[in-house]
Amino acid sequence: MDYKALGLKAGIEIHQQLDTEEKLFCRCPTTLRKTGEHAGEFFRYLHATVSEMGEIDRAAAEEMMDRRQFHYLTYDTTCLVENDEEPPAPMNREALEIALALAKIFAMHPVEQVHTMRKLVIDGSNTSGFQRTALVAMGGILPNGGVVETICLEEEAAQRVEGSTFSLDRLGIPLVEITTSPCMFTPEDVQQTAEYIGMVLRSTGKVKRGLGTIRQDINVSIAAGARVEIKGVQELDLIAEVVRREAQRQTTLLAIRDELRARRASVGEEVRDVTPLFAGTESSILKKAKVIRAFVLHGFAGLVGREIQPGRRLGSEISDYVKKCGLGGIFHSDELPAYGVTAEEVARLREHLGAADEDAIVIVSGSKEKTACGARQAQHRARRALEGVPEETRKMLEEGSTSYMRPLPGAARMYPETDVFPVAIPDGLWEEIRAPELLCDLARRFENDLGLDAALARQVVSSESLPLFRAAVDAGIRPNLAARTILGTLKELGRDGVAVSRLAPAEILAVLRAVEDGTVAKEAIPEILSAVAAGTAVAEAVGAHAGGMSDGDLATLVQAIVADRIDFVREKGMRALGPLMGLVMAEARGKVDGRKVSEALRQEISRVI
């Protein structure tokens, strides 16, 4: 596609969890827990508050259509603040300083006084019904010339366990939100920018790692389309694809709109109760429904079923809206007969509703209230198809297509968090903040100064074990040994089922130091680390592989093996080294460096031939 011609514009918001000691507005640790470890549980309802127009915000209202009890799991690592039972503590200084360090990297302007705001979120993921968020810095630049509009410090929401049950361990973990302007014009631009910002975040050394700790939201629009915000893109590799598919979606929706307009299509007003028509139906879904309703989409035939993204049709978009009422979705005539609905039933329905061939029909089934709600929602979305692309917040599905989530919030629903005092950022503090060395620079430095090859250097700096590597180098371990052990050996051991997560950094360093001291051979590292991970003390594990093969012992062993096969050696000469090496190593593996064995063998062979 020619994205320039389409008028593609995109921006991103990156949300990154910080690895602070304590949460943003309470003193709980930022530890994630297994739900099985929960210590308690409670439940609440959330109530949309009345806006200044005397109306409830549409996004909020839609969340409440299907009134739900939210259940929350508590832990011995959560407190009354997460439970919305105690006012928040003052803002976490550690988190603020990380945000300021980032601001420094992007050459931003920190605000003079940070005000914490409440942003309404009533999907249950925040016990309070709002998310606390504060604007920390504005106006930064990216190396590619893009603009970082703002850095905000926010509290992470609770993790949804399932349905309307949330786990409070995650609630309140500090997040930085880095928002760019819509300054990107190709899918690849977006992905590269996200990669760059991710690298910057990791450069602080204070961000959480692993799945779910960083999330990208992408704003996409094409010229005649509308701004769509796609939430929760966790895989960096998918970003470009998501943008591509959204461009495709908007393009197709516009095409459908044009076709509908050409057909003078319209949405039927009347929703009919057609339950009796399906009295003897074989459709398992319709069979168990209390009420079945249907309405006509005049002139929509064929378009409801048109694909707008891989695996997604206009019908899917309508279904998404209907799901907000607590229903499973819709049936539409473009996909029927199917799902147990017979051609005869469809014909009868068409006749009953007076639908022409060029018309489509939408069917909703369920309880009386839910079907009434569902039909209204379906009509609403169908009408918007006549207008083109709705402004929406969408969520990414697997593979990069998206589904409807909620309307874009109108004006930002924000008001001050009066329980948290504003925090001044005096010039003195700002000056004291130091930007960390970027990982890309660090990789270059490791390449140049430590002699790592470029790929390994990049791997080291992007690894979670970077601090361990640096500590090892500081302790005088050879950089290559450190890097290969930390990145290679440990990974392999882990793959082989060794509990490498039980190894303390100090233990790994001690083992490496034993290698550097010559106490053990580097070949012994895997076995020693395995033993330590299994609970053996480092000294003991090292001891088991050290001293067993002094230079003298090695010499004796080599002499014995050579003497035993003296004819062979004399026959083969130095070519005997390879075969004999195997025999010696069978005895010496893990006790002495292979190069040393090879050298000793070479000398002995030289001596005897």
Partner 1 sequence: MSDTFTTGDIVAASCRGQPVEGIYITDRDGMAVVKLGSGYNIGVDPATCTLVAKSGETAVQPPLTVEQDESLPELAIISTGGTIASKIDYRTGAVTSQFTADDILRAIPGLSSIGRYRAGVLATILSENMTPSIWQDLARAIHAAIRDGAAGVLVTHGTDTMAYSASAVSYMLDTPVPVVFVGSQRSADRPSSDNVMNGMCAAAAAGADLGEIAVTMHATTNDDFCAVHRATRVRKMHTSRRDAFQSHGMAPIGRVDFPSLAVHLTDDAVRRGACTLALHDRLEERCGLLYFYPGMAPEILRAYEGYRGLVIAGTGLGHVSTGCIRAVRDLIDAGAAVVMTSQCLHGRVCDRVYDTGRDLLSAGVIEGEDMLPEAALTKLMWVLGNESDPERVQRLMTADLKGEIRRRSDHGL
Alpha helices (runs of H) in 264-367, residue ranges in sequence order: 284-287, 314-323, 343-353
Q: Is 58 in the site for partner 1 (CB under 8 A)?
A: no
Among 24, 46, 460, 533, binds partner 1 (CB under 8 A): 46
Three-class DSSP category at 467: helix
Q: Is residue 146 classed as helix, strand or coil in its secondary structure? A: coil
Count each helix (H run) and each strand (E run) in the chain, helices first: 22, 24
Torsion angle (degrees, nearest 10) of CA 466, 468, 469, 473: 140
CA 518 – CA 515 distance, rounded (Å): 5
Binding mask 373-412 for partner 1 (x = CB under 8 A): --------------------------------------xx
Pick the closer one to partner 1 by CB: 426 or 573: 426
Q: Of the two residues 115 and 491, which places its CB atom closer to partner 1 in the complex?
A: 115
162 forms part of the interface with partner 1 (CB under 8 A): no
Spatial separation of the C-alpha atoms in residues 187 and 3, rounded to whole Å = 8
Question: Per-residue b/e over 124-152, b at no fewer than 16 CB within 10 Å?
Answer: bbbbbbbbbbbbbbbebebeeebebbbbb
Is 68 or 298 the residue whose CB approaches partner 1 more closely?
68
Both structure tokens of 414? 């924000």
Closest distance between partner 1 and the C-beta of residue 173, in Å? 15
Q: Is 416 in the site for partner 1 (CB under 8 A)?
A: yes
CB 368 → partner 1: shortest distance, Å?
A: 19
- Out of 16, 78, 319, 530, name the contact with partner 1 by CB under 8 A: 78
Instruction: Give the interface segment with partner 1, choosing from 199-207, 269-277, 416-424, 592-600 (CB under 8 A).
Output: 416-424
Nearer to partner 1, 87 or 340 (CB): 87
Binder among 69, 480, 550, 606 for partner 1 (CB under 8 A)? 69
Binding to partner 1 by residue 139, rule CB under 8 A?
yes
- The correct pick among 131, 150, 221, 530 for binding partner 1 (CB under 8 A) is 150
Provide the token pair at 184: 């990107």
Is 21 among the residues that bind partner 1 (CB under 8 A)? no
**The residue type at 490:** L
The size of the interface with partner 1 (CB under 8 A), counted in residues, is: 64
Of 485, 594, 595, 565, which Cα lies nearest the Cα of 532? 485
**Residue 348 burial class via C-beta count within 10 angstroms: exposed 0-12, middle 13-18, buried 19 and up:** middle
Within residues 421-450, the interface with partner 1 by CB under 8 A covers 421-422, 424, 430
DSSP H/E element including 70: strand 70-74
Does 502 interact with partner 1 (rule: CB under 8 A)?
no
* Phi, psi (deg, nearest 5) at residue 540: -65, -45
E strand or H helix at 385, and its extent?
helix 368-385
Positive or negative, the CA dihedral 136, 139, 211, 232 is: positive
The residue among 21 and 599 lying less far from partner 1, judged by its C-beta, is 21
Please say which residue, 163 or 416, places its beta carbon nearer to partner 1.
Answer: 416
How many Cα atoms are found within 13 Å in the side-chain-facing hemisphere of 267? 19
506 binds partner 1 (CB under 8 A): no
- Cβ of residue 165: shortest distance to partner 1, in angstroms? 14
Distance in Å, CB of 15 to partner 1, minimum = 16
By CB under 8 A, is residue 27 in contact with partner 1? yes
Is 152 a binding residue for partner 1 by CB under 8 A? The answer is yes
Shortest spacing between CB 105 and partner 1, in angstroms: 16
**Does residue 413 bind partner 1 (CB under 8 A)?**
yes
Secondary structure E strands in 399-531: 402-407, 414-416, 423-424
Q: How many CA atoms are closer than 13 Å to the CA of 486, on its beta-carbon side? A: 32
Contact 549/584 with Cβ under 8 angstroms? no
335 or 419, CB closer to partner 1? 419
Task: Decide if residue 138 touches partner 1 (CB under 8 A).
Answer: yes
Main-chain phi, psi angles of 281, to 5 degrees: -65, 155
Asked whether 525 and 591 are in contact (CB, 8 A), the reply is no
| Cis upstream peptide for 479 (omega within 30°) | no
**Which part of the chain contacts partner 1 (CB under 8 A), choosing from 85-93, 466-474, 476-484, 575-583?**
85-93
E strands, 274-320, in order = 291-298, 307-309, 312-313
Q: Shortest Cβ distance from residue 388 to partner 1 (Å)? A: 25
Q: Which stretch binds partner 1 (CB under 8 A): 84-92, 166-174, 185-193, 471-479?
A: 84-92
* Closest alpha carbon to 196 in 239, 247, 160: 239
Residues from 97 through 136 that contact partner 1 (CB under 8 A): 109-115, 117-120, 122, 127-130, 133-135
Question: Which x/- pattern, by CB under 8 A, does the window 186-225 give for partner 1?
Answer: ----------------------------------------
Shortest gap between Cβ of 68 and partner 1 (angstroms)?
A: 12
Please state, in angstroms and rounded to a whole number, the distance separating the CA atoms of residues 526 and 522. 8
Q: How far is the CB of 140 from partner 1 (least distance, A)?
A: 10
Binding site for partner 1 (CB under 8 A): 26-28, 42-54, 60, 69, 76, 78-81, 83-87, 109-115, 117-120, 122, 127-130, 133-135, 138-139, 150, 152, 411-416, 418-422, 424, 430
